Amino acid sequence: MRDELLRQGYAWVGAVRRRRRRARRHRGPARLGPARYGSLVHPGDACAYDIFSQPGQALRAPNGPDPLGGLEIRTLLADGESQ
C-alpha cells in the first residue's frame, strides 16, 4: 500500500509497534539506518498502542524539525498489519 500512496502523491510514515519474536528478513528501522537506529531498544508489546499513536502525534505537533517539511495534514489515516 505504501508504494501506491506515494505514487498518488500522499505522504507515508511507517512505524514498527510490535517486538518481533523470531529473527526474519524485514525492513525494520535498524536495518534501514544502522547508525541512527542500531541502538534502538523496543520496550515490549505492552507499549504497542503508545508506539502506534506517537507518530501521528509527532506529525500533528512536531517538537523540533517538521518531519513533513511543511506539508499540510488534511487527513491522518492509521492502518495496521497483523504479524
Q: What is the pTM of this model?
A: 0.59
> Percent helix, strand and coil across the chain, each rounded to 5?
35, 0, 65
The pLDDT assigned to 3 comes to 92
Percent of the residues in the chain that have a pLDDT greater than 70, as a whole number: 76
- In this structure, what DSSP letter does residue 70 have? T
What is the band of 24 on the pLDDT scale with cuts at 50, 70, 90? very low
**What is the residue extent of each domain of the chain?**
2-17+25-60
